[in-house]
Amino acid sequence: MHHVSKHPDRVKVLYSPNEAATMDDRGYYSVELGWTDLERATRFTEAEAHRFEQNRLPQSLGQDRHWIDNPQSEPATPSAQA
């Protein structure tokens, strides 16, 4: 099983328009959950994405999955209180 290290600088997500269209907008990929929403999608660094591609990308309807750089909606992170 391929494990992705947990780094805060993940900037890519894997997306499938066909999966999103047929699975209630769950077109983003999570190594733990499969196709899911953006908030639960695995974030990859450029190097992690390259290694993941070499190990084989997941199947998607029409094989339309592709990488999205810097997704618009990031998961909520706690902000530092002063």
Mean pLDDT check: name the lowest of 4-8, 61-65, 77-81: 77-81
CB-neighbour burial class of residue 41 (10 A; exposed 0-12, middle 13-18, buried 19+): buried
Q: Which amino acid is at 48?
A: E
Q: Is the pLDDT of residue 4 over 80?
A: no
Strand (E) or helix (H) holding 15: strand 12-15
Task: List, for residues 9-52, the tens digit of each pLDDT value.
Answer: 668 999 999 999 999 999 999 999 999 999 999 999 999 999 99
Contact 73, 43 (CB under 8 A): no
Strand partners, 36: 28
Could you state, in order of their start, the residue ranges of all structural domains in the chain? Answer: 12-69
